[in-house]
């Protein structure tokens, strides 16, 4: 046990300076060595480090402190020191302690780890619509290769590695962006003007990504479902055998030498299969859970109303509307402007209503004693006149008449009625969605037979498309507010006015071609 602890201390000693006193000075000194390494300067003398520190100006370190810092970093393994004989001009110089310092391999690894940590910590993330298109394109290439008669392992390895790298970048960026988005929603001390200008661009950005995810997600899911599990398993197994053949044998310690080593091919196959499983779970639903893409879309959709709520709160504060924080600030100003403590007490009682206990009562004699403030002001509690309490209050601690409590109303019938109504409304909406889905491109004049619910849903989609349309002969494609339906609307040049009769009336307008898709059924 002691040996393992000692080995860990030696192995991770390069990180010890991060928690040591004056860690900022240690990081600044190591930063000077990193900068020197970037400009291909291998060794540094203490005066070179001091000159870099003064040039950067982040910290001020004396020569004595710098010597101690360099010695500590050598002891922790961040730096290596060698004798400096380049400036020896006299015999006495051989007896002086002169050293050249450079980053050790452990120090280089530690600095790379700190750089990766800083990058990950400050990462904002992004919802990359182009990544979805790249994943769909890369997945198509991979499926074409694995379904070929002769599997090209080189091209398959290259395409699948590029696909996993692009997918990993998308997943990490999406996670970082949603985390930063939640912090934006939870903001309290952000500049209101800056946020009001930022929110419009952010909402447009979310809506654009939701649209792309709604379109691309089902496409990628369909590609993943189209490949047979045996086919992809055979391809991944072949790639694992190829990687295992190129792997160098690992050194075994004394305990592992007597155990049966795991197959390198099985290890590599587990890595490939785990990546493929992660990609599939992102875009394909399973029996027990929804896909990550659908959950991401739902999170992004729910973030838009939350952002709008924050915007409304910001606008309310900017317009001077009253809220709790404003009321407390105004009350604090009144307390500060009060002339004396008596006025402040009256203000307190008027504001919060914290009066004396109302369930206690006093008789006439007690009130007369209390009215003479000179008799009780400054009197110790033990010497103050007693409070006369009713015998019933003293015995039962209440004045209320005892009896049975009111009966709790049974709302089970109302709840059942509401559940039936909600189920009927859901079925009605589902039927309306099926009714207005065109299953291909048709003309507006071909529509007929819509009931009131289906026609109302159609009018909502048509209104969204007309609002999004720009002047000119080009068509428009837009989504419903919940992102579950898409309508493609294209004007017909010189089209006549058509009339569509429904239960709710007749709709008149120029003829168009349209295509309405239920994305939930399509995905």
Q: What is the pLDDT of residues 461-502, one digit of tens each?
A: 888 888 777 666 678 888 887 777 888 888 888 888 888 877
Residue 213 neighbours by CB distance under 10 Å:
22
**The pLDDT of residue 477:** 85
Domains and CATH numbers, the chain: 2-121 (1.10.10.10), 129-246+264-308 (no CATH), 342-396 (no CATH), 425-522 (no CATH)
Nearest to 27 by CA among 99, 76, 94: 76
> For 290-294, 309-313, 337-341, which range has the lowest pLDDT when averaged over its residues?
309-313
Greater confidence, 467 or 109? 109
Task: Report the run of H or E that residue 83 belongs to, with start and end.
Answer: strand 79-83
Structure tokens at 227: 């490949």
pLDDT digits over 1-51, tens only?
444 445 555 567 888 888 888 888 888 888 888 888 887 777 888 888 888
Whole-structure pTM value: 0.41
Nearest to 509 by CA among 519, 498, 520: 498
Q: Is the pLDDT of residue 255 over 50?
A: no
Give yes or no for a contact between 76 and 13, defined as CB atoms under 8 angstroms apart.
Answer: yes
Q: Got the DSSP string for 12-71?
A: TGGGGGGGSTTHHHHHHHHHHHHHHHHTT---B-HHHHHHHHHHH-S----HHHHHHHHH
Distance CA 255, CA 246 (A): 25
Length reported for the chain: 523
Distances (CA, A) of 47 to 66, 292, 457, 496: 9, 55, 77, 87
Residue 227 has what DSSP assignment? S
Question: What's the order of all strands across the beta sheet hosting 512-518?
Answer: 442-443, 512-518, 485-491, 476-479
> Mean pLDDT over residues 282-299, rounded?
78
Torsion of CA 343, 345, 348, 349, to 10 degrees: -110
pLDDT digits over 68-86, tens only?
888 888 888 888 888 776 6
């Amino acid at each position: 046990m002691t040996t393992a602890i000692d080995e860990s201390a030696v192995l991770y000693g390069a990180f010890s300076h991060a928690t040591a006193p004056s860690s900022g000075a240690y990081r600044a000194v190591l930063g000077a060595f990193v900068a020197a390494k970037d400009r291909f300067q291998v060794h540094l003398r203490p005066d070179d480090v001091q000159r870099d520190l003064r040039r950067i100006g982040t910290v001020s370190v004396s020569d004595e402190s710098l010597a101690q810092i360099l010695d500590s970093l050598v002891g922790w393994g961040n730096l290596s020191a060698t004798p400096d004989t380049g400036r020896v001009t006299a015999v006495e110089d051989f007896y002086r302690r002169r050293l050249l310092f450079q980053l050790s391999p452990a120090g280089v690894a530690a600095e790379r780890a700190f750089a990766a940590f800083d990058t990950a910590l400050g990462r904002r993330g992004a919802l990359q619509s182009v990544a979805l298109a790249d994943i769909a394109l890369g997945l198509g290439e991979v499926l074409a290769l694995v379904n070929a008669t002769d599997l090209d392992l080189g091209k398959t390895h290259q395409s699948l590695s590029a696909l996993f790298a692009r997918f990993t970048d998308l997943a990490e960026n999406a996670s970082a962006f949603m985390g930063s988005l939640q912090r934006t929603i939870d903001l309290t001390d952000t500049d209101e003007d800056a946020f009001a200008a930022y929110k419009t661009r952010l909402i447009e950005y979310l809506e654009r990504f939701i649209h792309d995810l709604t379109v691309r997600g089902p496409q990628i899911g369909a590609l993943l479902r189209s490949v047979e599990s045996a086919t992809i398993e055979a391809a991944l197994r072949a790639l694992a055998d190829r990687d295992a053949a190129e792997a160098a044998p690992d050194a075994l310690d004394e305990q592992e030498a007597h155990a049966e080593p795991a197959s390198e091919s099985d290890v590599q196959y587990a890595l490939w299969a785990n990546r493929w499983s992660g990609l599939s779970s992102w875009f394909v639903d399973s029996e027990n859970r929804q896909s990550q893409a659908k959950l991401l879309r739902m999170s992004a959709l729910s973030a838009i109303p939350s952002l709008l709520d924050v915007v409304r709160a910001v606008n309310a504060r900017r317009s001077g509307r009253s809220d709790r924080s404003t009321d407390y600030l105004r009350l604090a100003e009144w307390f500060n402007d009060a002339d004396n403590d008596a006025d402040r007490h009256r203000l307190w009682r008027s504001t919060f209503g914290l009066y004396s206990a109302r369930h206690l009562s006093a008789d006439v004699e007690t009130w007369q004693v209390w009215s003479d403030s000179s008799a009780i002001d400054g009197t110790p509690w033990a010497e103050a006149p007693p409070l006369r309490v009713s015998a019933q209050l003293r015995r039962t601690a209440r004045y209320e008449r005892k009896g049975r409590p009111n009966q709790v109303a049974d709302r089970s019938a109302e709840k059942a009625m509401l559940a039936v109504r909600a189920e009927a409304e859901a079925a009605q909406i589902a039927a309306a969605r099926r009714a207005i889905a065109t299953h291909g491109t048709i003309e507006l004049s071909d529509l007929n037979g819509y009931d009131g619910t289906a026609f109302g849903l159609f009018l909502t989609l048509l209104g969204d498309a007309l609002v999004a349309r720009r002047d000119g002969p080009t068509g428009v494609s837009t989504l419903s507010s919940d992102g579950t339906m898409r309508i493609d609307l294209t004007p017909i040049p010189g089209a006549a006015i058509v009339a569509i009769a429904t239960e709710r009336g007749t709709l008149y307008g120029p003829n168009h071609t349209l295509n309405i898709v239920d994305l939930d059924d399509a995905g």
